[in-house]
Structure 1
Amino acid sequence: MKHFIASTLVILTLTGCSSATTPLRQSAQISEYSGGEIDDSKTSLFWLTERFDSPESSSDDVIFKDNTWYKSYYTWDGDNLREISRTGERLSNSGDLIPFQMTLRFSGTGEAVYQRLRINGKVMPMRKQQIDDVKKQASDLIANGKNQQKQGLELIQGYWEEGVFVTCEGKTFTSIEFKNQLPSLVIERLIDEDHFAAFVGEYKAKKVVVDKMLMLKDGDYECIERPSLQS
Structure 2
Amino acid sequence: MARQDRWSRHVGTGIGLSGHKNQFRLGVCIENWVEDHATHTDSLAGLNTLMGGCGTPSPAEQFTSTAKASYTAVGKAGDELLSTYERRDYYENNGRFQNVPAPHILGHGRNPGAEYKATVSGLAFQEPKLEAKRLHTYLWSGSKANNYGVPENVDTMYPSRKMVNARLDMRHNREFAGASLAATASSGAEALELIKTAKRDKCAPTSVGGQAATIGRKVKGDFVGTFEKPHMNIGLRK
TM-score by length of structure 1 reads 0.18
Larger strand proportion of the pair: 1
Larger helix proportion of the pair: 2
Higher alpha-carbon Rg: 2
Which of the pair has the greater relative contact order for Cα pairs under 8 Å at 6+ separation?
Answer: 1
TM-score by length of structure 2 reads 0.18
